[in-house]
Amino acid sequence: MSATTIRGSGEQGKAVEYQVQQQDIEFLLDDVFDVQSAWSKIEAFADLSPDVVKAIVAEGGRVAAEVMAPLNQSGDAEGCQWQDGEVTTPTGFAAAFAELAQGGWLGLSGNPQFGGQGMPKSLGCLVEEMFWSANSSLYLYGTLTVGACLCIDAHGSPEQKSVYLPKLYSGEWTGAMALTESHAGTDLGIMRTKAEVQSDGSYAITGQKIFITSGEHDMAENIVHLTLARLPDAPLGSKGISLFIVPKYLPNDDGSVGERNGWSSGSLEHKMGIKGSATSVINYDGAKGFLLGEENQGLAAMFTMMNYERLSVGLQGLGAAQLAYQHSANYARERLQGRAPAGPQNPDAVADSLLVHPDVRRMLLTQRAYAEGCRAMGLYVGMQLDLEKYAGDQRAGRIGQLLTPVVKAFLTDRGLDCAVLGQQVLGGHGYIKEWGMEQIVRDARIGQIYEGANGVQAIDLVGRKIMRDGGKTLQDLLGDITATTVAPEFVEPLADVCQRLDAVTQSVVARAQQDPNLPGAVSVDFLDFVGLTLCAWLWARMASCAPQNEFGDAKRATARYFFARLLPQTLGLEQSIKAESAAVMEMPETLF
């Protein structure tokens, strides 16, 4: 660890160092999920050898640790600057982004026909977590680009794909997603940005968007906005929204950048965290836009990008949990305070390390249980998406859709929890800037808010995904869980939690028929119940196949901690979900 600042008190702040979890990743790939045999049945991945996969993970880890992580704290301190519509990113960001782009990381899971590498999404999830841990501000420029590629690939014309995808996969151009307006966030149906058709078939886009991540910056030759706007005769609400490609520079026929388009950054938002990520107000003044997909079908098309971003933002939460765990475990090992309850463990020193204290262990084990459990969850959901996309597996697709809001909300909620626990492990030093832990808290917080606030993810899970099939897809998943062979100690608790989740799901489905407020009233607790159940399954699987060595000992101990101390939260959640919606609805609005 390198020292950053000598504090007046004699304490030394230490830079947060990021350690890649290669061993855990290989354990998940090889032993827990046996992804190689899953991929060998998918034609597109049949030739993907284990050595290539491990080399990709190792090189991704190198880029994360050596290129991105060293700029995390300096990027936070320097932030982005705005001057007359031009945005400057922190020192070193442009060079690091160029390295990320040149390494092909933005096109890792992209369409090979247009310069992507066609790797599985599940592999992409593992790599993305490392990038998020290393430098979430810097990776935001990447994830928006990857999402824009997915959307153009799914909905673009052949010409749009050939103009934009190679430039975006290569990182020469970057992507941005322009939905939010000052009066329209969650409720995009009331947005006002206008699109008017022009004689050449393009559209003139006029209006203002706020909070646009990577909307303007100095790291790429061109910035491609995917912008939602409304045609003059469009139906009211979300059925009257269309999606447009609105590049900063209009592409010439030969693919080079041409005329400057009519939009600009009006200002940068001043934020709590992710300060190296440029978040702009964008003013569209008759900017030229090109329809992406069908008129009035824009919101559905945008969901291709949003669903990807939701999974990716969940991985941002996981990245924060992992980074916070590493930093606080390293600190606890070295920090000497007090004595173990059973007597000194390190009698030659002035005090024992923090690791002797049961409550500090509780905090570290909670972080570790969530970080490693959520890594397995991200990979599992990525695998479902691969099975749907490349093997046409509809059941896997339904499970992937069901769990997308769970990954987004559960992982980002736990990410912040773990970051705050890290602050607590560091005590006062967790609150002091030099140690870097307060930055992890500030950076993690946004994950719960953007890409659809977590409350809205929970409503998506209960109000839409559970209600539309009466809980059938969740039942399929619970069937998979109870059918899995795991070590005897986990069989009964897993069966119990599945049975309770199934019963509470049926009760929600039945009660919601009479009570329209019920799904919204219970949804956040329900989502947590699903997240904890899934995590329990994955911990049981990990513990059951862990090797007989120190790595395996840590897995088994953490799994036992999860079952003993974290899974029982579902008992409280179950009770709270059983409460009627009146508990939250009876108070009149005038009394708030």
Ligand X SMILES: Cc1cc2nc3c(=O)[nH]c(=O)nc-3n(C[C@H](O)[C@H](O)[C@H](O)COP(=O)(O)OP(=O)(O)OC[C@H]3O[C@@H](n4cnc5c(N)ncnc54)[C@H](O)[C@@H]3O)c2cc1C
Nearer to ligand X, 271 or 433 (CB): 271
Q: Would you say 122 or 316 has its CB closer to ligand X?
A: 316
- State in angstroms the smallest separation of the CB of 183 from ligand X: 8
Q: Does 517 bind ligand X (CB under 6 A)?
A: no
Of the candidates 215, 18, 218, the residue with the CA atom closest to the CA atom of residue 98: 218
Q: Which residue has the tokens 């070193």?
A: 92
Q: Which of 25, 48, 212, 522 binds ligand X (CB under 6 A)?
A: 212
Q: How far is the CB of 31 from ligand X (least distance, A)?
A: 38
Which sign does the torsion angle of CA 61, 67, 69, 75 carry?
negative
Q: C-beta of 93: minimal distance to ligand X in Å? A: 17
CB of 461 to ligand X, least distance (A): 12
For residue 454, the minimal CB distance to ligand X (Å) is 7
Residue 454 · residue 413 · CB < 8 Å:
yes
Q: Which is nearer to ligand X, 63 or 144 (CB)?
A: 144
| Given 372, 388, 434, 451, the catalytic residue | 451
Considering the complex, what minimum distance in angstroms separates the CB of residue 187 from ligand X?
6
Q: Which of residues 302-321 bind ligand X (CB under 6 A)?
A: none
Stretch that binds ligand X, among 31-39, 205-213, 254-262, 408-416 (CB under 6 A): 205-213
| Nearer Cβ to ligand X (280/544) | 280
Contacts with ligand X by CB under 6 A: the residue count is 21
Candidates 321, 317, 293; CA nearest to 305 is 293
Cβ closest to ligand X, residue 459 vs residue 540: 459
- Looking at the Cβ atoms of 571 and 582, the one nearer to ligand X is 582
**What is the per-residue binding string for ligand X in 165-204, x denoting contact by CB under 6 A?**
------------xxxx----xx------------------
Find the shortest distance in angstroms from Cβ 452 to ligand X: 5
Distance from C-alpha of 539 to C-alpha of 534, rounded to nearest angstrom: 9
C-alpha–C-alpha distance, residues 507 and 535, integer Å: 23
**174-199 b/e with 16+ CB inside 10 Å = b?**
bbbbbbbbeebbeebeebebbbeeee
Does 80 participate in binding ligand X (rule CB under 6 A)?
A: no
Q: Cβ of residue 212: shortest distance to ligand X, in angstroms?
A: 5
Helix, strand, or coil (residue 248): coil
DSSP 570: H
Binding mask 442-461 for ligand X (x = CB under 6 A): ----x--xxxxx-xx--x--
Residues 464-493 that bind ligand X (CB under 6 A): none
In 3D space, the residue among 283, 473, 310, 458 whose CA is nearest the CA of residue 395 turns out to be 473
Containing H/E element for 242?
A: strand 242-247
Whole-angstrom distance, CA of residue 333 vs CA of residue 330: 5
Does position 360 bind ligand X by CB under 6 A? Answer: no
Residue pair 536/562 in contact (Cβ under 8 Å)? The answer is yes
> Interface with ligand X includes 542 (CB under 6 A)?
no
435, 6 in Cβ contact below 8 A?
no
**Token match 């990381």: residue?**
105
- What is the DSSP secondary structure assignment for residue 231, as one 8-state letter? -
> Burial, 359: exposed, middle or buried (Cβ in 10 Å; 0-12, 13-18, 19+)?
exposed
Which has the closest alpha carbon to 129: 240, 207, 24, 30?
24
Question: Which 572-591 residues touch ligand X, going by CB under 6 A?
Answer: none
| Position 257 contacts ligand X (CB under 6 A) | no
Ranked by CB distance to ligand X, the top (closest) residue is: 185
Return the residue of 194, 271, 433, 560 that touches ligand X, per CB under 6 A: 271
Amino acid at 494: L
User: Within a 10 A sphere around the Cβ of 69, how many other Cβ atoms?
Assistant: 24
**Nearest in space to 257 (alpha carbons), one of 266, 246, 248:** 248
* DSSP SS3 for 339: coil
Closest CB to ligand X among residues 186, 345: 186
Is 489 part of the annotated catalytic residue set?
no
Task: Identify which of residues 206 and 279 has a Cβ nearer to ligand X in the complex.
Answer: 279
Check binding of 279 to ligand X (CB under 6 A). Answer: yes
Closer residue to ligand X, CB minimum distance, 275 or 357: 275
- Residue 45 as a binder of ligand X (CB under 6 A): the answer is no
Sign of CA dihedral 582, 585, 591, 592: positive
- Find the shortest distance in angstroms from Cβ 583 to ligand X: 16
Q: Which residues sit at the interface with ligand X, rule CB under 6 A?
A: 177-180, 185-186, 211-213, 271, 279, 446, 449-453, 455-456, 459, 520
**Residues labelled catalytic:** 451
